[in-house]
A and B are shown apart, each in its own frame.
Chain A
Amino acid sequence: GIQVEQSPPDLILQEGANSTLRCNFSDSVNNLQWFHQNPWGQLINLFYIPSGTKQNGRLSATTVATERYSLLYISSSQTTDSGVYFCAVERVDSWGKLQFGAGTQVVVTP
């Protein structure tokens, strides 16, 4: 199956700092999504981004499909950004099944 690697596994930030999370994947994909898992476990959709760049407020993401990686940028971090960030990919011809990375645990301190 497709391999999805996220880095770093853990990240501690001071409020106001910027950060970059990375997702590498091992095969061609139909779909790549970034999620934020809140303390209650809900997976919040951040970006659907199989290629290109998107921005939503303080968050932005870039996927370079030809080089098989995606980056999630958090700018001016806030304590509410804390949680686990997941990258998930849908391999071509896989009926929409998502393969998740192990996640990046982000803690933003006041």
Chain B
Amino acid sequence: SQTIHQWPATLVQPVGSPLSLECTVEGTSNPNLYWYRQAAGRGLQLLFYSVGIGQISSEVPQNLSASRPQDRQFILSSKKLLLSDSGFYLCAMGRVAYEQYFGPGTRLTVT
């Protein structure tokens, strides 16, 4: 079965520090991978998606970047965190017109 791992589960970082969040998936090959963010409140916003190794598309201009160095690995990064980067980050996998599955998430607090 398909499994998504995310780490760390929680993170507290000072403003201006770098960030690296990792997502790995199991049980499938060549999936589409997605990073979403949920700010305080409810809405989930798509940040990045990838349809293959090295292929990244950004949905919104921001302080973050993403990379996909391996088929089943998706990384979210920042060189210098802002207070507004705080939130709950969710990695997801899926395919066009198929069910999408989400990882357990990383809760990031920027102080």
Interface residues of A (CB under 8 A from B): 30-31, 33, 35, 40-43, 45, 48, 50, 84, 86, 88, 90, 95-100, 102-103, 105
Stretch at the interface among B11-19, B73-81, B96-104: B96-104
For chain B, what secondary structure do more than half of its interface residues adopt (helix, strand, loop), or is it mixed?
A: strand
Sort chain B's interface into a size bin: 20 to 34
Residues on A with beta carbons closer than 8 Å to the beta carbon of B101: 45
Residues of A within 8 A of B104 (CB): 40-42
Output the nearest chain A residue to B44 by Cβ-Cβ distance.
Answer: A100
Asked if B98 and A96 make an inter-chain contact with CB atoms under 8 angstroms apart, the answer reads yes
Question: Considering the chains assembled together, what is the distance between the CA atoms of A50 and B99 in angstroms?
Answer: 10
B45: which A residues are within 8 A, CB to CB?
Answer: 100
Chain B residues, Cβ within 8 Å of A103: 42-43
Measured in the bound complex, the distance between the Cα atoms of B46 and A77 in whole Å is 31
A50 to chain B: which residues have CB within 8 Å?
97
Q: Knowing A100-B44, A103-B42 touch, does A42 contact B102 (C-beta < 8 A)?
A: yes
B32 touches A96 (CB 8 A): yes
- Assess whether A41 is in contact with B88, with CB atoms less than 8 Å apart: yes
- Chain A contacts of B43 at CB under 8 A? 100, 102-103
Q: How far apart sit A97 and B104, CA to CA, in the bound complex (Å)?
A: 19
Query: Given A42-B102, A42-B104, A43-B102, are A30 and B44 neighbors across the interface (CB < 8 Å)?
Result: no
In the complex, which residue of chain B has the Cβ closest to the Cβ of A49?
A: B99
